[in-house]
Amino acid sequence: MAALRRRGTQVGAAKVGPDFIDPGYHRLATGHPSRNLDTFLNPPDLLASLAARACLGRDILVIEGVMGLFDGAYEQTAGDMATPARLALASTASVAVLTKTPVVLVVDASAINQSVAALVHGFATWSAEVPVHGVILNRVGSDAHEDSLRRALADLPVLGALRRDPAFAWRDRHLGLVPVAERPNEILAALQTLAGAVERSVDLDALARLAAAAPQMEAPPLPPARSSYRLRDPRDTTLGAVGGGHDHRPRIAVAAGRAFTFVYPETLERLEEAGAELLPIDPAGDDGLPAEVDGLYAGGGFPEVYGEQLASNRAMLEQVATAAGDGLPIWAECGGLLWLARALDDRPLCGVVPATATMTSKLTLGYRTARVRSDNPVAPAGKRLRGHEFHYSRLEPAGDALELSNHRESWQEGHASKSMLATYLHLHLGADPAPAERFVRAAAIWHRDRTRRHAVG
C-alpha cells in the first residue's frame, strides 16, 4: 500500500476479518481509513457495498487477507454464505469471491525451496471459485534461493520476491501488532523502509494491471442511519421517539488516545449520521469529560498497558462515575468495559461496572452471536446481534446482559442498565445502524431531561 502511494496512486485499503490493529497500519500507509470486510459481522450481500466505501475516490483497492486463504469461522450455517459451501465463512477466499477480487498469495519462503510449487499448487487448485493470479515470495534468502523458487513456480506469475531483512521485524505484543497510535513516527519510518524494498522487489505495474482487470460490480448503498436526535414530544421519553422538535445535537464523548484505539470507523460514522457530535477524549490524560456531554462511548484497546495512567487520572474517573450515577448513556466495548470496572489488576478505575478485571494468560477469541437479555441504550431486550471477542482479561462477576453463543456453547456476559451497556462484545455497524440510532436517541433524551431539570431548578 505504501509503495503504491509513493508512485502517486490513491490507495484504498481493507482488511478481511474483525481486526482493529492492521487497519491502523493501512491508514498510515495510504492516508485513508481502512475498512473491515467480514462475512460473519455483516451480511455477504452487502460486502461489495462495504468494499465500495473503502475504495471511493481511490485508484486501487488492496485487501489484506486473514490467516490462510481458506481459514475462516466455524459458525457457518445454512444460508450464511453466498459462496460455495467449501469456502469457510469470513475467510479471505469467501471475501475474494464476493468482491470478485483477484488473489495474490504471499508465501513465506524462508524454509522452503522446490516444495513451494506443491504448496502453491494446493492453494491454486483447492477451489475453482478462487483462482490464484500470482505469487509474491517473502523472506527469500539469496539470489540462488530466489532463482530456485522462480524455476519451481514456472507455471504461475511470480510478481515479486522480498528478501529477509531484520528491518522488517514488526513490533508486537499479546494481541498482535503494537497499534500505530502508540509509536506513529517509528512505525511510519519502518513503513517507508518497507515501501522502498517493495518498490525494488515487486512488480507494482503487474499488480495494478491485475486489479484493473477485476470485474466491475454493482454496489448498492448501505442503509443509512436515521437522524435520531429530534424528539417528537418533550414529554415523550421512549427511545423510539423520532420526529420534529428539539434540534440540539447530542454531544457524545469518545474514548481515544493511546489506550483506546480499537474502534471501527463505521461506528463513529453511524453515530454522526444519527445526529451526534463526537468529542474525542483521552482517559489517560484529559482532566475530565467535555462540558455538557450527553453520552459516552468507550471502545476497545489496551487499558492494561496504560493502567497506571488511567488509574492516576482521578479527576476523569470521578467525573465518569458521577455522570454514570446521574444516568448518562454509556456504551463500552472490551477495553472500555475494563476502564469502567472497579479495578483492573488491583488498580482502581471508574467503578461504574460492579465487577473487577484481571489480566490472564488465556486468550478469549472468536465470533459471537448474542441475544440481548435486558433493555439498554444500545439494543432492546430480545435483539439479536453479531460480534466478536478478543481479549486476555477476565471480569468477575461476568454479568448477564447478553447471552453469547458460538458453535459449541452459550453463556452470559456483560453489564447493562437503562443507561448503560458494557460488554466484551465488539459490534460492527456497517450493515446495521440501529445501535447507533438508539444510542443517539438515548443521548438526546438525557440532554432534554437534564435541560428540564435545570430549568425547574
Q: 3-state DSSP call for residue 266?
A: helix
Q: Give the residue from 143, 148, 123, 147 showing the smallest Cα distance to 135.
A: 123
Which three cell numbers, joined as nine digits, stand for 128? 475453482
Q: 3-state DSSP call for residue 360?
A: strand
Place of cell 469502567: 340
Q: DSSP label at 105? A: E
Could you give the maximum distance between any two Cα atoms of the chain, in Å?
83
Q: How far apart are CA 100 and CA 93, in angstroms?
A: 10
Active site residues: 334
- Whether 251-456 and 2-212 are alike in CATH topology: the answer is yes
pTM recorded for the entire structure: 0.90
User: In CATH terms, is domain 251-456 a member of 3.40.50.880?
Assistant: yes
User: Tens place of pLDDT for every residue, the chain, 457 residues?
Assistant: 999 999 999 999 999 999 999 999 999 999 999 999 999 999 988 999 999 999 999 999 999 999 999 998 865 544 454 445 568 888 999 999 999 999 999 999 999 999 999 999 999 999 999 989 999 999 999 999 999 999 999 989 999 999 998 888 776 665 567 888 888 888 899 899 999 999 999 999 999 999 999 999 888 888 888 886 665 544 444 544 444 445 689 999 999 999 999 999 999 999 999 999 999 999 999 999 999 999 999 999 999 999 999 999 999 999 999 999 999 999 999 999 999 999 999 999 999 999 999 999 999 999 999 999 999 999 999 999 999 999 999 999 999 999 999 988 999 999 999 999 999 999 999 989 999 999 999 999 999 988 887 766 5
Q: How far apart are CA 280 and CA 392, in angstroms?
A: 26
Q: What Cα–Cα distance (Å) separates residue 252 from each residue in 33, 231, 288? A: 21, 17, 14
Domain ranges of the chain: 2-212, 251-456
User: In CATH terms, is domain 2-212 a member of 3.40.50?
Assistant: yes
Q: How far apart are CA 111 and CA 134, in angstroms?
A: 20
